[in-house]
Structure 1
Amino acid sequence: MSEARAAEHRELGGRALSLAPWLDRLAAALRDAYAEETELRRPFLWRAVAGIAGVVFYFSANREPSLALCFGALAVFALLAVVTRRRHARAHALFLALACVAAGFGSGAWRTARVAAPVVPRIGVGELTGFVEELDLRPTGARFVLRVASAEGLPGDVVPARVRLTTRGTPRFAAGDFVGLKARLMPPARAALPGGYDFARDAYFARLGGVGSALGRVETLPPPDPAPASLRFFAAVDRVRNDLALRIYKIIGDDAGAIAAAMVTGKRDFLSEHAKDLIRRAGIFHIVTISGMQMTLVAGIFFVGFRRLLAASQTLALNYPIKKWAAALAMVGAVLYDIGTGSRVGTERALVMTLIMLAAVLVDRPSLSMRNLALAVFFVVAFEPEAILGASFQLSFAAVAALIAVYEWRGAALARSHAKRRIISTPGRFSEWREALLDRLLHGPGAPLVATLCATSATASFMAYDFHELSPYVLIGNPLTLAIIEFFAVPCALLGATLYPFGLDGLIWRWLEMGIHLVTWLAGLIASAPGASLQVKAFAPWAIVFLALAVLSAVLWRTWALRASAIPLALIGLIGAKSGAGFDLAVAATGDAAAIRLPSGELALLGKKPGAFAAEQWLRADADGRAAVEARGGIACDDYGCVGRLVDGRFVALVSARAAFLEDCARAAIVVTPLRAPEGCAAPLIIDRIRLADTGAVSLRFPKEGGALWTTARGVDEDRPWSPRPQQTVKLAAAPEDEESDEAELAESME
């Protein structure tokens, strides 16, 4: 036995010795690659990634950290980075990275403290007064944001800072007016699925303390005090945007008019669901958003236009830095364009990136570089850290990073090509063919396809994670979209907005209508093609981290030895994407709607009126492309609730009236209810109001061996400002008056 073991050890040792040279070569190659990256100053880019990691760590915490602790950690790591700067390079790099992580963490905590505002605790009706900050017109009715001045009758006597309301009738008020109204408010909705989109968190950072609808007429009142200057300014801009959007919508009409109004003003509320679904399936939904591409085109138009205008004067062109003057004027034009299109979060980030690139022209630095993109990331981390978790940030920065990486690769390839031509006087036929192909890819018609392919690859994982959907034909749709925006949308927006005050803009919008009809016709062809939209199931929570690191490794490193690290990272991420747990039962945080997996394997929706957004989240996470109205089969509902059969044959009852507890608790294996379940309920599994207060939305899987695997939206003992710890964690017997208030609140929420 000992001889066999010795032989085995000798064999293993021999294998290790044979691998040692390869490992030494690999280590040497990685050291050389990192040294080259250091000369190119690429490690600086990863400090921006460290700042992003700090923000992610902050939002992953279960409890709100102390500001003193956050900034104390930042000070300690920054001090250690300064101390080790000259003598200990590796320690300096480590402490600098930790300082960036601590800075991102502290930025999130500081931002949370700055925007703190009251939130309505539950559904209620109250009398509100305040200034209308923003008004979004719809084909019927409108949605508006109210800066609350006073509130009476709301639960807990809460006075929110801002609320978002809808009204069914044509509004007789505009942005900037002081109004009084009666409104029904509810807290911003929590995530409908663990790991899903959490509107309550976004609403907290927007200082929205409630959402709901106006009841009755909205009265315009004389304000008790003048509105702040900033509110008056942005309200005036919003009125102009609404007037322009309404004019475009009326001139062009239908969905084409709605798309044109969204392209020019950023107002998307005229869009029908059919139009949204069409352009989404074609992979070109960004045409109705004021994206970074439009911001860059506008800035480019201003820059080139001003520069050529200044160059018309020989005296200015020969004696003054007109290029810098044009860049400064383009910065002003970009800011005005951002304000004119509503200055939303997505356009603000695009504006920051554009301004940094134009500022680089002022200081004689390369305008299109990864360092400028990293500076834009630092800006977002410092001032809007919550945006890191949003799809807009992830998609825009991934796409821009990929395009810059292509630009850098093109420059390096051209430099190598020119160097080879100088060395080799008579290249062979293969070399000529390769150079011609490379030239077509870098400058010819293949260049847009190469750029689109790289940008699409960089954003694919984020698209799949955030929207559970991929568009295979995006390589066709995106170049077409770019052409439409270049030749129709941006020029028409600038020229039409200039002529609008004079009433001479009608022909401009007719020209834009031609482009819109062309793009919607092409979008219809793409959307109707087989496999135009691929549904993707929800990922394992850790998968997107590895996929994001794979994208970063591919675009931030310049050497192929380090870029190759993207391959194992992507493989790990794909394994995580493939191994998403899924669910057999999903329950909304409110308990008034659920999704169950039927014996057929499809999902079905429980609830008399399941929320459209929650239903969409459940179906998308299961890679189910059906509409909510199509997922109602196999369910029996009446005035007391709904009943359905699970995949394993057991019954699930959703109880919406107390009279149904007696029967459903005796027959159903699982009882779901937005009410307090009675103490004597005999169902083996009860998910009621008290339990959901602790867990938030839940999803369950029922393995064949029995039991239930739970996933909750709220962490254990979670207590964050947008997800506070429930006041009552012990299930007590409900008093009769509590029962009545529960049912009244439920009935009101279902209206």
Structure 2
Amino acid sequence: MQAALRETLLAQRGGLIGWLPVCLGTGIGIYFALRSEPGAAIWGGLAAGALVGLALSRWVEVAWRPLLLGLALVCCGMLLARGEVLRMIQPVLGFRYYGPIEGRVVDIDRSASDAVRLTLDRVRLDRMAPDRTPRRVRVALHGADDARSVTDWRPGEVLMTTGHLSPPGGPAEPGGFDFRRYAFFEGLGAVGYTRTPVLRLHAATGGASLWVFTQRMRLSRAIQTQLPGEVGAFAAAVVTGDRSGMGRDSLNALRASNTAHLLAISGLHMGLLTGVVFAVIRVGLSLCPAVALRVAVKKIAAVVALLAGAAYLLLSGGNVATERAYIMVAVMLVAVLLDRRALTLRAVAMAATIVLVLHPDALTGPGFQMSFAATTALVVVFRLMRGMALGPRWMRPIAAVVVSSAVAGAATAPFAAAHFNQISHYGLIANLASVPLMGVLVMPAAVLAACLAPFGLEGAGFWLMGLGLRWILFVAQTVAGFDGALSHVKSPGAAVLPLLTLGLLWLILWCGRLRFAGLLAVAAALVLWVQTPRPQVLIADSGGLIGVLGLQGRVLSSDKGDSFVAGIWLENDGAPVPQDVAASRPGLVRDNRHVTATLGPFRILQLRGKVALASVAGCGGADILVTNQIDPVEDRGPAASVTMPAAAAQTMGRKADAGCEVFDAARLRQTGALALNLDPAGNLVITTAAGVTGTRLWSGPSRNRRIQAAAPFRITLRAAATDQ
């Protein structure tokens, strides 16, 4: 047995570098999956384990070295993630704030409701000490300023307004997307809105990042001046990464047709740009025999393409997605300089490792997962197809585009479905009609515009760009309008994506027949996804909305209010419909501001507003009472059908003989959103978002939040019938 294992491990030596980012990412993933921060002893043990593993790997037999190195890399991944979190710690607003807000504009975009949104740094808030003031806040403009164009705002301007700010919110449901963690790594300490006019104070000086942002916005406005409308906004997004000019209809059409990746500055854009520059320089120098015979034309072209990619990275704002794309391209161009093959699994592994070292938090984002899934799949498929005839010479480029689009679409589909709950059925058609034009016309035209800009002739390049982008928008809108163009899937459980990813990586990286065990992991992940149950009842952290899973889908308690949360619930169910449609379904009993729902033998009563809360004596015959107000009653009357164990009551901070469980505004701020389900014994299990998320550095008391203690992960109320 030992000898067979030794031979199996020795057979892997040629492809071990592919496991480097896998082991590193496993450690990062373990850290982010924890529900509490490990203590100093554990971190010391991990550091010691990494050092011991690296040291022992030099002394053990060659066959066993990968195991020690893999364990050391897992420890290093956890340490890297911890270091990134410690580096990003900043003050976070611990309460709801209303008052003056002053700050410098460092980013401009649009919210989900299409309102102009400004990110401010150098923030000053009324009667708040500098050490408690968030370094960055994001404010959406409603009211008078909402009608103003994005181009009316200038980078570096110091603005002042009166508005509402609050801490970044937690998940809309237990186990859902945690906006607090996203905001933490974005450096946002508060988010909010204003309905009052914004005053311009003065322009502020800044460093290199502000200068780059200013140049980006100037170029974006220049492009949109040359190309007005949606086409110009699309061109600005492709060149500068500024999507603020894109309309909601165009964005939805691009997403529904699976061509939204053309909007983001990602590996495709970076690869096309550097590829065009590489080809132009190489062909241009090769046409000069005196140069071509004396210098390495290919390597000069690679250096110029590398510099062009770096300029594009700075021009686009240098966000994580573009940085990731540049690293992937840079690794391939450096391989050209070293006379190595540019597009290999080794290059992809090195790029993934660099990204994880620089930005460990990128592992959990859809951008990292989808881009490396597509790149890895393309490398593997074209390696398998090496030497295969793809038809006549004139058909080979067309066949390559078809294969590339199909492979990339298939590789990214499960990750897109998991993160965005949708599958585009005609994405291949849309990409086949769009991607070639992006490479043949749009990106070369962007390079042409950059070359002609010093002579004031950049308009010709932008006009050519406009032709290609106009066609892409037309294709997106046409495909999105097809019947059945888009279908929706429910959100997977927490274990699905890791299991699916590890199964696919095992299938690709392992050498030998055992690699097909990866298919079992993939199949298991898909089965788990299909069988993932959705919460039978959901309660928003505001107390203003509940949703009950019925025969026709989720029934909502209100047709307006908490619309963002309602949309997330319905999307995660895999059945997004307008909120008013979901509210019109049968399944809830509504009486003015009283909403009653039942779950098995348990009765849930929602009271919205102070008048509704005051009108109910005791528990109103309910087992669970939910209100968006602060309940002044300390102990409500007897429940109808609940017997609660004393231990559970103590965990919840309430008396054992309390009549019902009350979730008012104050308590919901501690627990977050709630999910209610019946277990096989008929007991009511209440899962809290705060309990699932845990007490982490981006969500716990250490971030200056007014949370007295971590909310319990799960509360169980026993049905009275089971106690008899």
One-letter amino acid of the counterpart of residue 161, structure 2: L
User: Which residue of structure 1 aligns with residue 225 of structure 2?
Assistant: 247
Counterpart contact for 2:9–2:63, Cα < 8 Å: no
2:651 corresponds to: none
1:672 alignment partner AA: V
Q: Render the CA deviation track for 1:12-43: whole Å, top value 9, x for unaligned.
A: xxxxxxxxxxxx9xx96x876654432x2x12
Question: Retained in 1: the 8 A contact 2:401–2:436?
Answer: no
Q: CA deviation at 1:402?
A: 0.5
- Please state whether the residue corresponding to 1:564 is helix, strand or coil: helix
Paired residue for 1:710, among 661, 669, 686? 686
Question: Residue type matched to 1:611 in 2?
Answer: D
Distance in 2, matches of 1:697 and 1:162, equals: 26
Q: CA deviation at 1:517?
A: 3.7
Given that 2:253 and 2:480 are in contact with CA atoms closer than 8 Å, whether structure 1 keeps it comes out as: yes
Question: How big is each residue's C-alpha offset from its partner over 1:109-161, in whole Å with a ceiling of 9 and x where there is no partner?
Answer: 11111111111112212333332212237998632211124322469983111
Kindly indicate whether residue 571 of structure 2 is the aligned counterpart of residue 620 of structure 1.
yes
Counting only pairs closer than 5 Å after superposition, residues 548-563 of structure 1 correspond to structure 2 as 548-557=501-510, 559=511, 561-563=513-515
Distance 1:496 1:594, change over 3 A: farther
| Structure 1 residue 91: Cα displacement | 4.2
Kept after mapping to 1: 8 A contact 2:212/2:315: no
**Distance in 1, Cα, partners of 2:394 & 2:430:** 19
Asked whether the equivalents of residues 443 and 465 of structure 2 are also in contact (C-alpha less than 8 Å), the reply is no
Q: Between the two proteins, what is the percent identity of the paired residues?
A: 29
Match status 1:208 vs 2:188: yes
In structure 2, what is the Cα distance between the partners aligned to 1:197 and 1:716? 11
Separation in structure 1 between the aligned mates of residue 363 and residue 32 of structure 2, nearest angstrom:
10
Structure-to-structure mapping, 1:382-461, within 5 angstroms:
382-411=357-386, 414=387, 443=396, 445-461=398-414
**CA offsets, 1:491-524, max 9 Å, x none?**
2333335546765444544443433343333334
Residue 96 of structure 2 is aligned to residue 118 of structure 1? no
Identify if the C-alpha distance between structure 1 residues 589 and 498 changes in structure 2 by more than 3 Å, giving closer, same or farther: farther
Match of 2:522, SS?
helix
* Matched residue, 1:227: 205
Structure-2 change in CA distance of 1:279 and 1:592 (3 Å): same
Matches within 5 A, 1:666-685: 666=620, 668-677=622-631, 678-682=633-637, 684-685=660-661
The answer to whether structure 1 residue 309 and structure 2 residue 261 are counterparts is no
How far has the Cα of 1:463 moved from its partner? 1.6
Counterpart for residue 597 of structure 1 = 549
The 1-side partners of 2:601 and 2:215 are apart by 58
Listed as ranges, the matches of 1:664-743 within 5 Å are: 665-666=619-620, 668-677=622-631, 678-682=633-637, 684-702=660-678, 706-715=682-691, 718-725=694-701, 727-729=707-709
**For the residues of structure 1 that align with 2:397 and 2:412, how far apart are their CA atoms?**
24
In the alignment, the residues of structure 1 paired with residue 244 and residue 140 of structure 2 have an alpha-carbon distance, to the nearest angstrom, of: 12
Report the counterpart of residue 355 of structure 1 in structure 2. 330
Matched to 1:270, the amino acid is G
Distance 1:730 1:335 in 2: 45
Task: Deviation per CA, 1:650-704: give whole Å up to 9, x if none.
Answer: 7644333222124454155543223333334446443333443443222222468
- Of 718-727 and 104-113, deviating more is 718-727
Q: Please give the TM-score of this superposition, normalised by the length of structure 1.
A: 0.82
Could you say if the C-alpha distance between residues 637 and 700 of structure 1 is closer, same or farther in structure 2, counting changes exceeding 3 Å? closer
The answer on 1:377 being equivalent to 2:352 is yes
Structure-1 separation of matches of 2:7 and 2:407: 27
Deviation string 1:40-86 (CA, Å, 9 cap, x unpaired) is 2x122112101101111111122223567536523433333323424
Q: 1: distance between equivalents of 2:306 and 2:572?
A: 41
Kept in 1, the 8 Å contact 2:171–2:673? The answer is yes
- Alignment of 1:606 onto 2:557: yes
Aligned AA for 1:696? G
The match for 1:194 is 174
User: Corresponding residue for 1:568?
Assistant: 520
Cα gap change, 1:162 to 1:660, in 2 (>3 Å): same
Matches within 5 A, 1:82-161: 82-136=55-109, 142-153=116-127, 158-161=132-135
Residue number in structure 2 paired with 1:660: 612
Return the letter of the residue paired with 2:196: G
Shift of 1:583: 1.4
Q: Hey, what's the Cα distance between the residues in 2 that align with 1:281 and 1:548?
A: 24
Taking the aligned partners of 1:350 and 1:666, their CA distance within structure 2 comes to 58
| 1:114–1:163 CA distance, 2 compared to 1 (3 A) | same
* C-alpha distance in 2 between matches for 1:333 and 1:198: 36
Separation in 2, partners of 1:718, 1:237: 41
Distance 1:343 1:400 in 2: 21
Q: Is the 8 A contact 1:81 1:91 kept in 2?
A: no
Name the CA distance, whole Å, in 2 between partners of 1:722 and 1:468: 26
Matched, 1:263 2:216: no
Q: Structure 1 residue 43 and structure 2 residue 16: aligned?
A: yes
Query: Partner of 1:496 in structure 2?
Result: 449
Counterparts of 1:72 and 1:649, CA distance in 2: 49
CA positional deviation for 1:729: 4.6
Unaligned 5+ residue runs, structure 1?
A: 1-23, 415-434, 732-751
Aligned with 1:526: secondary structure?
Answer: helix
Structure 1 range deviating more: 123-132 or 360-369: 123-132
1:408-447, Cα deviation, whole Å (9 max, x unpaired): 2223xx2xxxxxxxxxxxxxxxxxxxx6578899946433
Alignment of 1:471 onto 2:417:
no
Tell me which residue corresponds to 1:521.
474
Deviation at 1:546, TM superposition (A): 1.5
Would the aligned equivalents of 2:600 and 2:682 in 1 still touch at CA under 8 Å?
no
- CA shift, 1:585, in A, is 1.3
C-alpha contact (below 8 Å) 1:125/1:153 kept by paired residues: no
Q: What SS does structure 2 have at the residue aligned with 1:624?
A: coil
2:418/2:491 contact within 8 Å kept: yes
Q: What CA distance in whole angstroms lies between the structure 1 residues aligned with 2:206 and 2:39? A: 33
Once residues 638 and 260 of structure 1 are traced to their aligned partners in structure 2, the CA distance between those partners, rounded to angstroms, is: 50
| Aligned CA distance change for structure 1 residues 242 and 442 (closer, same or farther; 3 Å) | closer
Structure 2 length-normalised TM: 0.85
Q: Partners in 2 of 1:530 and 1:140 — Cα distance?
A: 26
CA RMSD of aligned residues (A): 3.3
